[in-house]
């Protein structure tokens, strides 16, 4: 926490932010460059955006990417919620430690390993690589993130709310649907947004698990860059940055609102005590 | 020593505990109920009957098993062995959502995403009541807890006392046969707690329901309940009316748990005209009016239960009488609590006795002061004996 805004704090903040965001900023600035040359400023223009938006290959890749992100985020959120409930609620069951370790393992696993192992699996079971293999692969690793986000919320969830719902006549499932889910909804939404963004910008795993006709936008971008950086790539990247930023900001806003409400409740409870 | 009185019948456990409580069939029966969690025994072979329309308290220190009893009744836990009967029906295997028992939670457990009205109507909605009927019952409940006009508030917009009342309204909305209250007033401040105690008693009387309250607060249990069960380590130590628990505790543990008490080890010497005579370490002679159920063998060692407020503190030696006990000591400490003063008196034998006098006079006119020599006296009928 910065208590006084002195020179040292200001300098370190500036350097930190510059280190993180200067490269991105350059991409954004040069996407509005009129010149064909990427590193020479030739005046302001939005023409590259027009070119990107008229490029069918890019549009198709973008459409595939969005569909994959949407489906895999939804899958990951459902699975993540289920595993979070099992982890937080089920107390001790045989293999709990193993299960919890396995949930978190993909978080630290190198993407190359995850991608390769999934590729081997898909080949082994004879699944044709394409839209669905990427979606499954993305759901697999995003589910871990979703599970972490949701279980941290569930851990602070007042169990007596569910007991109260049961007591008032709910079956366990309807108690979950009517009470637990609405209360943890903000965490579920931010888990979905996180999974969506993760899928959107993944290159490595998608490369391993894609097949003909299922080139995602990051893959398209990467292969184009190998032929030389063009201004339209800058424009495309800027749009991606925009979408991802919007996703992350929304997720954190949802989370913050939830946090504020929870603090309000705590204050009310403290006032009651 | 065996003349018949209502108290001895209550001690036998079959007939009414007091003339105020006419005989009713037991609504709830715990039959040899045991509950274990792993290697920990929370409830151990417990038998208990709770009658209809009772305001029953489960009282004990934390970890004594009182909350487990409540969760067994509500259906959140299953008994390990034994069974619980409600109205003669075995509750084993019936899940919480199908028991005509509702619970008010210590944390209130109000659903934060629902309005007050939705919270109160929640149970009715589960039973597929019609919208209009739900509305009517919710209004009725809001009136009962004096929260008209709060229907559209969210729980976080309420004060602690209001949340407590919403929780009460919600748990009463389905008109359960039994209402369980888990430390219902624990989160309220003292003044509000006293008010709410009377409100609870009023509601219970008006609706004619059976209330079972779990508490560690003995004052609360004494105030609200028609009977109290004192628990320790998964067992019932005594189940009785508040007055009998206080004045005729079954053991020194119960005596010590409820209120302040002097516990004095004595040795029985014999009988004299209906009074038991006892010796107390210094050889002081004591007269005790025994209870009908007391077994008095000369030479037996017992514990005398003597409440501070039964002891008189005087500067002059009281008049000698066969049924008056007196000892002399020095005032070591006086604690003033407004309505009463408590004197800690060191007897010449070294023992510390706690005596309490109501402050009938202003403190400035109090006779007894620090380091004064005083006489403590009490009547033979003001104390009881329990096993050592």
Instruction: Name the β-bridge partners of B356.
Output: B342
CA distance B98 to B91: 10
pLDDT tens column, A241-255:
888 888 888 888 887
Nearest chain B residue (CA) to A166:
B97
CA distance A36 to B142: 73
Backbone dihedral angles phi then psi of residue B329, each to the nearest 5 degrees:
-165, -175
Q: Supply the pLDDT for residue B185.
A: 85
What does the block give as tokens for A89?
A: 């609620």
Q: Supply the pLDDT for residue B189.
A: 84
Nearest chain A residue (CA) to B127:
A169
CA distance A164 to A175: 9
> Are the Cβ atoms of A161 and B111 closer than 8 angstroms?
yes
Angle formed at CA B14 by CA B8 and CA B20, multiple of 5 degrees:
70
CA distance B162 to B159: 5
Q: What is the mean pLDDT of residues B244-250?
A: 92
* Chain B environment of A163 (Cβ under 8 Å): 74, 76, 96, 103, 105, 109
The B81-86 sheet, strands edge to edge: B40-51, B26-37, B81-86, B89-90
Backbone dihedral angles phi then psi of residue B270, each to the nearest 5 degrees:
165, -170
Q: A131-155 and A96-108 helices cross at what angle (nearest 10)?
A: 120
Asked whether residue B85 carries a pLDDT value surpassing 90, the answer given is yes
CA distance A64 to A215: 7
What does the block give as tokens for A97?
A: 């430690």
Nearest neighbour of B158 by CB, restricted to A164, A174, A268: A268
What does the block give as tokens for A188?
A: 């579920």
Burial class (CB in 10 A: 0-12, 13-18, 19+), B208: exposed
Contact yes or no for B100/B110 (Cβ under 8 A): no
CA distance B239 to B249: 10
How many other β-carbons are positioned within 10 Å of the β-carbon of residue A229? 15
Angle formed at CA A143 by CA A142 and CA A144, multiple of 5 degrees:
90
Q: Supply the pLDDT for residue B10.
A: 40
Q: Supply the pLDDT for residue B150.
A: 94
What does the block give as tokens for B122?
A: 């929640």
Residues 6+ apart with CB under 8 A from B355: B308, B311, B312, B313, B342, B343, B345, B376
3-state secondary structure of B271: strand
Burial class (CB in 10 A: 0-12, 13-18, 19+), B355: buried
- Pick among B97, B99, B173 to test the A interface (most A CBs inside 10 A): B97
DSSP codes, A186-243: HHHHHHHHHHHHHHHT--HHHHHH--TT---HHHHHHHHHHT---HHHHHHHHHHHHH
**How near does any CA of chain A get to the CA of B182, in Å?**
11
> Are the Cβ atoms of B103 and A161 closer than 8 angstroms?
no
Q: Does A64 touch chain B (CB under 8 A)?
A: no
What does the block give as tokens for B210?
A: 């059976």
* A113 phi-psi bin (left φ>0, alpha ψ -120 to 50, beta other): alpha
Q: Supply the pLDDT for residue B12.
A: 40
Asked whether residue B167 carries a pLDDT value surpassing 70, the answer given is yes
Nearest CA-CA partner of B110 in A158, A155, A182: A158
Higher pLDDT, B4 or A122: A122
Backbone dihedral angles phi then psi of residue A233, each to the nearest 5 degrees:
-65, -40
**In A, residues 199-228, which contact B (CB 8 Å cutoff)?**
none
DSSP codes, A86-143: HHHHS-S-TTHHHHHHHHHHHHHS-HHHHHHHHHHHHHHTTPPPSHHHHHHHHHHHHH
Nearest neighbour of B111 by CB, restricted to A167, A174, A179: A179
Contact yes or no for B26/B177 (Cβ under 8 A): no
Q: What is the mean pLDDT of residues B352-369?
A: 86
Q: What is the mean pLDDT of residues B190-207?
A: 89
Name residues of chain A where pLDDT drops below 50. 1-2, 273
* Chain A environment of B170 (Cβ under 8 Å): 164, 168
CA atoms within 13 A on the CB side of B23: 7
CA distance B311 to B331: 14
Asked whether residue B14 carries a pLDDT value surpassing 50, the answer given is no
Asked whether residue B18 carries a pLDDT value surpassing 60, the answer given is no
What does the block give as tokens for B304?
A: 């005398």
Nearest neighbour of B174 by CB, restricted to A161, A168, A268: A168
Quickly state the pLDDT bin for B23 (edges 50, 70, 90). low
Q: Does A184 touch chain B (CB under 8 A)?
A: no
> Are the Cβ atoms of B109 and A163 closer than 8 angstroms?
yes
> Are the Cβ atoms of A166 and B106 closer than 8 angstroms?
no
Q: What is the mean pLDDT of residues B306-320?
A: 91
How many other β-carbons are positioned within 10 Å of the β-carbon of residue B166? 25
> Are the Cβ atoms of A169 and B126 closer than 8 angstroms?
yes
How far is residue A135 from each of residues A62, A67, A81, measured CA to CA in Å? 14, 9, 18
- Pick among A169, A172, A187, A265 to test the B interface (most B CBs inside 10 A): A169
Quickly state the pLDDT bin for B284 (edges 50, 70, 90). confident
Nearest CA-CA partner of A216 in A110, A102, A130, A109: A130
């Amino acid at each position: 926490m910065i208590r006084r805004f002195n020179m040292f704090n200001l300098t370190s903040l500036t350097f930190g932010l510059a280190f993180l965001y200067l490269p991105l900023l350059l991409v954004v600035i040069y996407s509005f460059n009129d010149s064909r040359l990427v590193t020479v400023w030739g005046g302001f223009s939005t023409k590259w955006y027009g070119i990107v938006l008229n490029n069918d290959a890019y549009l198709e890749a973008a459409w595939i990417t969005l569909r994959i992100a949407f489906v895999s985020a939804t899958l990951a959120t459902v699975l993540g919620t289920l595993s979070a409930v099992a982890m937080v609620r089920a107390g001790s069951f045989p293999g709990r430690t193993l299960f919890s370790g396995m949930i978190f393992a993909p978080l630290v696993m190198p993407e190359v390993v995850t991608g390769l192992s999934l590729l081997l699996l898909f080949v082994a079971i004879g699944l044709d690589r394409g839209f669905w293999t990427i979606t499954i692969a993305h759901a697999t690793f995003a589910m871990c993130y979703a599970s972490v986000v949701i279980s941290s919320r569930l851990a602070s969830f007042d169990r007596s709310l569910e007991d109260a719902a049961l007591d008032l006549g709910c079956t366990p499932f309807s108690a979950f649907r009517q009470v637990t889910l609405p209360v943890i909804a903000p965490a579920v939404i931010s888990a979905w947004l996180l999974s969506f963004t993760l899928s959107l910008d993944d290159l490595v795993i998608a490369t391993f698990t894609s097949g003909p006709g299922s080139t995602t936008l990051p893959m398209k971008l990467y292969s184009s860059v190998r032929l030389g950086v063009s201004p339209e790539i800058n424009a495309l990247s800027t749009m991606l940055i925009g979408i991802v930023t919007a996703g992350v900001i929304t997720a954190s806003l949802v989370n913050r609102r939830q946090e504020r409400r929870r603090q309000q409740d705590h204050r009310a409870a403290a006032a009651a005590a | 020593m065996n003349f018949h009185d209502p108290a001895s019948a209550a001690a036998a456990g079959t007939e009414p505990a007091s003339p105020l409580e006419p005989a009713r069939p037991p609504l709830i029966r715990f039959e040899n109920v045991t509950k274990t969690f792993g290697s920990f025994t929370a409830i151990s072979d417990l038998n208990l009957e709770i009658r209809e329309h009772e305001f029953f308290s489960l009282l004990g220190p934390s970890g004594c098993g009182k909350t487990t009893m409540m969760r067994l009744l509500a259906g959140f836990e299953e008994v390990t062995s034994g069974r619980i009967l409600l109205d003669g029906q075995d509750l084993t295997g019936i899940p919480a959502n199908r028991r005509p028992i509702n619970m008010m939670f210590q944390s209130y457990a109000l659903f934060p995403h629902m309005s007050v009205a939705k919270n109160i109507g929640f149970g009715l909605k589960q039973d597929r009541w019609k919208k209009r009927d739900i509305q009517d019952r919710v209004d009725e409940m809001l009136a009962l807890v004096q929260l008209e006009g709060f229907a559209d508030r969210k729980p976080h917009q309420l004060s602690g006392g209001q949340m407590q009342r919403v929780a009460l309204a919600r748990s009463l909305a389905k008109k359960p046969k039994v209402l369980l209250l888990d430390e219902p007033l624990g989160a309220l401040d003292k003044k509000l707690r006293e008010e709410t105690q009377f409100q609870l008693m009023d509601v219970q009387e008006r609706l004619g329901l059976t209330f079972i309250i779990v508490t560690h607060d003995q004052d609360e249990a004494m105030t609200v309940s028609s009977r109290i069960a004192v628990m320790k380590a998964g067992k019932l130590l005594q189940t009785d009316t508040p007055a009998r628990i206080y004045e005729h505790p079954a053991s020194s543990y119960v005596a010590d748990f409820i209120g302040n008490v002097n516990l004095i080890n004595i040795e029985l010497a014999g009988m004299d005209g209906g009074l038991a005579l006892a010796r107390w370490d210094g050889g002081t002679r004591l007269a005790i009016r025994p209870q009908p159920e007391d077994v008095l063998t000369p030479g037996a060692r017992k514990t005398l239960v003597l409440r501070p407020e039964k002891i008189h503190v005087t500067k002059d030696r009281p008049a000698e009488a066969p049924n008056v006990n007196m000892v002399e000591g020095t005032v070591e400490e006086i604690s003033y609590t407004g309505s009463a003063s408590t004197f800690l008196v060191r007897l010449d034998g070294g023992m510390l006795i706690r005596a309490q006098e109501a402050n009938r006079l202003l403190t400035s006119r109090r006779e007894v002061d620090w380091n004064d020599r005083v006489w403590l006296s009490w009547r033979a009928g003001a104390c009881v004996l329990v096993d050592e």
